[in-house]
Amino acid sequence: MLFDHKSFDAHETVVFADDEASGLRAIIALHSTALGPAAGGCRLWHYNSDLAALDDVLRLSRGMTYKNAMAGLPLGGGKTVIMAPEQIRDRRALFAALGRAIDRLGGSYWTAEDVGVGPADMAAVATATRFVAGLEKGRHASGDPSPVTAKGVFTCLMAGAHRIWGGRTLSGLTVAVQGLGRVGWHLCQALHAAGADLLVSDIDARRAQLAAREFNATVVAPEKILTARMDIFVPCALGGVLTRESVGALDARMICGAANNQLADEAVGAKIARLGKLYLPDYIVNAGGIINVASEILQIEDPAWIEDKVSALAVTIEEVIEEAAKRSRDTAAVADSIAQARIAGDCRLAA
């Protein structure tokens, strides 16, 4: 069930944490600690089955290894998923139990927030372990990573847009943002300020209306956003939106967004390239959040460190685009091979 699972990729450690008293059922996956202790957030989600949760944590933890390597962080990749119980009796107790499970890993894994989990939950984890970041209090506390994530996505998007259309603004371009949550909202602010014509979509209709007013945007129904007329598609909801079918119908010339695991499978990256569209790999453009979290884990004192690392994401994106053109390969495959070289310590390829 585990070693021949389709998403198993020689993960170093997979821990199943079960705590009857609090109702915690979680899986912690450490994909790689080659570059440093594994780091990656904790997701609380209603999974249809244990296998669906396992698949998610295996894919997400591998993504974190690649993300941290491409962001130039001395951290490996890991992730936690909590299978949300029908009813959470005591949320603090649930996250304290998770903290105990993380503490048993002795510092080989650091956690932080992800979908469905907030700073108060991390504070509860911190009652049982010090291997937790994304806290609101403390000397190196980094708080909500979303604005930094949005900044990284925006910086990379501008680099990609400049390459395709020239110019330093988004004036005259239609940009469709799917998901107007913490990252999507910040991103809309930057895109609007850069002169983009915005299409916005969220399953929460009220949020979409708010965005329409705030950013002079046009609301598109969730089921219609992928087929709308647009120049740039910005996925900021959940993963898996780019499938072999959906990219065929997608009008956008470029795709750049915050959602993790946007490509349903590897073949989609190749198809996007064949269609003449530019895909900016998710784990590079959305690394702002983990850079913010890393400043807390690594106890960085230099105030310019985060800014420099986030700006460097656009440089990495440029390198990936160049390399993809040179090798006639798709950007997702090129990003993977550069990340693998960095993890293997092959500086020649990783440069």
Q: Which is nearer to ligand NAI, 22 or 61 (CB)?
A: 61
Verify binding: residue 258, ligand NAI, rule CB under 6 A.
Answer: yes
229 Cβ partners below 8 Å, 6+ apart? 174, 251
Site size toward ligand NAI, by CB under 6 A: 25
What residue is closest to ligand NAI based on CB?
A: 181
Q: Which residues, 195 to 234, sit near ligand NAI by CB under 6 A?
A: 201-204, 207, 222
Verify binding: residue 175, ligand NAI, rule CB under 6 A.
Answer: no
- Output the smallest distance, CB 115 to ligand NAI, in A: 5
What are the C-alpha distances in Å from 21 to residues 44, 94, 213, 232, 321?
18, 9, 47, 48, 51
Q: Which is nearer to ligand NAI, 96 or 179 (CB)?
A: 179
Gyration radius of the chain's alpha carbons: 19
Strands 13-19 and 24-32 turn out to be antiparallel
Q: Which of 6, 67, 79, 151 is catalytic?
A: 79
Tokens describing residue 178 = 């799917």
Q: Which residues, 265 to 304, sit near ligand NAI by CB under 6 A?
A: 286, 289
Verify binding: residue 11, ligand NAI, rule CB under 6 A.
Answer: no
Q: Which is nearer to ligand NAI, 76 or 184 (CB)?
A: 184
Strands 232-235 and 218-219 turn out to be unpaired
Verify binding: residue 122, ligand NAI, rule CB under 6 A.
Answer: no
Answer yes or no: 79 catalytic: yes
Interface region with ligand NAI, contact rule CB under 6 A, candidates 10-18, 145-153, 273-281, 323-331: 145-153
Place of tokens 């895909």: 279
Q: Quote the crossing angle between the two packed helices 331-344 and 50-70, to the nearest 10°.
A: 80
Strands 232-235 and 254-255 turn out to be parallel
Q: Which is nearer to ligand NAI, 261 or 340 (CB)?
A: 261
Return the number of other C-beta atoms located less than 10 Å from residue 331's C-beta: 24
Alpha helices in 90-145 (DSSP H): 91-103, 119-125
Give the integer Cα–Cα distance in Å for 13 and 32.
8
Q: Which is nearer to ligand NAI, 165 or 222 (CB)?
A: 222
Verify binding: residue 184, ligand NAI, rule CB under 6 A.
Answer: yes
- Please list the active-site residues: 79
Query: Which chain residues interact with ligand NAI by CB under 6 A?
Result: 115, 145-146, 149, 178-184, 201-204, 207, 222, 236-238, 258-260, 286, 289
